[in-house]
Amino acid sequence: MQLSELFTPQARELAPPIWAAPPVAGAIPLISLAYGLADPLMLPGEELIEAAAQLTSNKIGEVLNYAPDARSLKMLIAERLRHEGVAAEPRQILVAYGSSQILGILPHVLINPGDTVLVEAPTFMGAVRMFARGGARLVGVPVDSAGLDVDALEATLRELRAAGVRPRFLYSIPTFQNPAGVTLSLARRQRIVQLAAEYGLLIVEDDAYVDLRFRGEPLPPMAALDTEGWVLRIGTFSKILAPGLRVGWAHGPKALIDRLFMFKPEGSSGPFVTHLVAEFSADGRLEAHIAVLRQHYAAKCERMANALRRELPEASFVMPEGGFFIWLRLPSGVNATELEPLAIQHGVEILPGSRCFSDGSGDDHIRLAFSETPAEQLDEAIRRLAGAIREVGSYLDS
């Protein structure tokens, strides 16, 4: 008898998480461009220690005992949302262990096995895996340089309605999309909101990168354009403060927020960490930190882009206006899945585009993260990548 025989079918079928490639003895040290991690140099350790000391000195019973999430944090989130034009109230906000927890809870509230969920193509595969695990049938809608293709979305909705199918929701990353880096235009945002009202379509608007704008003018979130309650907006402090704090949030119709909370088994996300984020963020300190992050990541993005133009002029990309990623179209004939192990041999780690599509397509692209890698290593990383791509190209030409 085996212990594995006790696992449910779902547990047996789960794939292990994708993480860093294991080190190979004798190989050159890897430079990883595969994961959207924060730059350790930008984590405000001293300021967080100072804020923690203030809390444990002044509010020890409130922050170290059993207690609900800090109301001051919900008020802060609501204030930031109102600044974006969203009519937000603290009672419409759910705080969670990162935005990923909210994405993981969504299937419990909204998906029955076989239900249809619309996702961008490409998109954040962490979310897709959670939806698929909940039994969803995933339908991809293409993304171009202006974001989600709204004509394709409308055609998909029309076809599904004719077949008697109502999608449970549309999952969209409208600003500095992961992985494509593109931003949904204002006209498309407005039209998606109109389609949501017409088709009774819930929009799950994941805006993890919205604060990290390097250039261009901010656009209103779809939650600000929605007047009929069809948008659930999701955000996180992981990209603008520290991922290890694991603090994310959702804002939307109170009935949906209440039900999401019911499936959050631990209840509170922890009084200490939610008070800590609120304490750090008070008096404009968070906004000042975000301004520094924007400058820092903008410089790294520009450095990677310049290296790509220099080392790989035969490849192409849309220059992102913010976020953590460049979505690179490979030269004709180069396959990302085949390139990945060769790139590792050359000492650079990448994310094949096929991991960003629900149907496994996308092997003509790779996602490159400039966020964590030290700026002085980005030129070398792209030089190594170019060597791997040219080695593949030489094989194709022979």
Instruction: Please tell me the distance from the alpha carbon of residue 26 to that of residue 261, in angstroms, as a whole number.
Output: 49
Indicate if the alpha-carbon torsion angle 196, 86, 106, 254 is positive or negative.
negative
Specify the pLDDT at position 61. 87
What local confidence, expressed as pLDDT, does residue 170 receive? Answer: 98
- pTM attached to this predicted model: 0.93
Q: Please tell me the predicted confidence (pLDDT) of residue 19.
A: 58
Confidence of residue 340 (pLDDT cuts 50, 70, 90): very high
Strand pairing class (203-206; 231-236) = parallel
Specify the pLDDT at position 17: 61
pLDDT of amino acid 80: 97
Mean pLDDT of 308-322: 97
Which runs of consecutive H residues, i.e. helices, occur in the chain?
Answer: 9-13, 45-58, 60-63, 71-83, 98-110, 125-133, 150-162, 186-199, 222-225, 254-262, 271-281, 285-311, 336-345, 375-397
Half-sphere exposure of 312 (CA within 13 A, CB side): 27
First to last CA, the chain: 53
Q: How far apart are CA 374 and CA 39, in angstroms?
A: 8
Could you give the CA distance from residue 89 to residue 100 in angstroms, rounded to a whole number? 22
Q: Model confidence over 239-297: pLDDT tens digits?
A: 999 999 999 999 999 999 999 999 998 888 889 999 999 999 998 999 999 999 999 99
Q: Which residues contact 58 (CB under 8 A, 6 or more apart)?
A: none
In this structure, CATH architecture of domain 3-44+289-397: Alpha-Beta Complex (3.90)
pLDDT at position 396: 52
Angle, to 10 degrees, between the axis of helix 98-110 and the axis of helix 254-262? 100
Answer for the pair 168, 116: CB distance below 8 angstroms, yes or no. yes
pLDDT at 130: 93
Whether residue 21 is predicted with pLDDT greater than 60 in this model: the reply is no
- Percent above pLDDT 90 for the chain: 85
Give residue 398's pLDDT band: very low, low, confident or very high (50, 70, 90): very low
Per-residue pLDDT, 11: 76
39 vs 1, more confident: 39
Query: pLDDT > 70: what percent of the chain?
Result: 95
CA dihedral (378, 382, 388, 392) in degrees, to 10, reads: 150
One-letter amino acid at 241 equals L
Positive or negative, the Cα torsion across 114, 116, 120, 126? negative
Does 122 sit behind a cis peptide bond, omega within 30 degrees of 0 on the bond before it? yes
The predicted-structure confidence for 54-63, as pLDDT tens digits, reads as follows 999 988 888 9
DSSP class per residue in 128-140? HHHHHHTT-EEEE
Tell me how far apart the alpha carbons of residues 100 and 103 are, in angstroms, rounded to a whole number. Answer: 5
- Pick from 209, 208, 219, 220: nearest CA to 320: 209
Helices (H) and strands (E) in the chain, counts: 14, 14
Please check whether residue 170 is in contact with residue 202, taking contact to mean a CB–CB distance below 8 angstroms: yes
pLDDT score, position 394: 63
Residues in the chain: 398
Q: Render pLDDT for 26-43 as a digit per residue (tens, 0 to 9).
A: 567 899 999 999 999 999
**Residue 9 — very low, low, confident or very high, per pLDDT cuts 50/70/90?**
confident
CATH number, span 45-285: 3.40.640.10
Domain limits, the chain:
3-44+289-397, 45-285
pLDDT tens digit string along 168-225? 999 999 999 999 999 999 999 999 999 999 999 999 999 999 999 999 999 999 999 9
Based on its alpha-carbon atoms, the radius of gyration of the chain, rounded to whole angstroms, reads: 22
Exposure b/e, 237-267, CB count within 10 A at least 16 = b: bbbbbbeebbbbbbbbbeebbeebeeebeee
Average pLDDT, the chain: 93
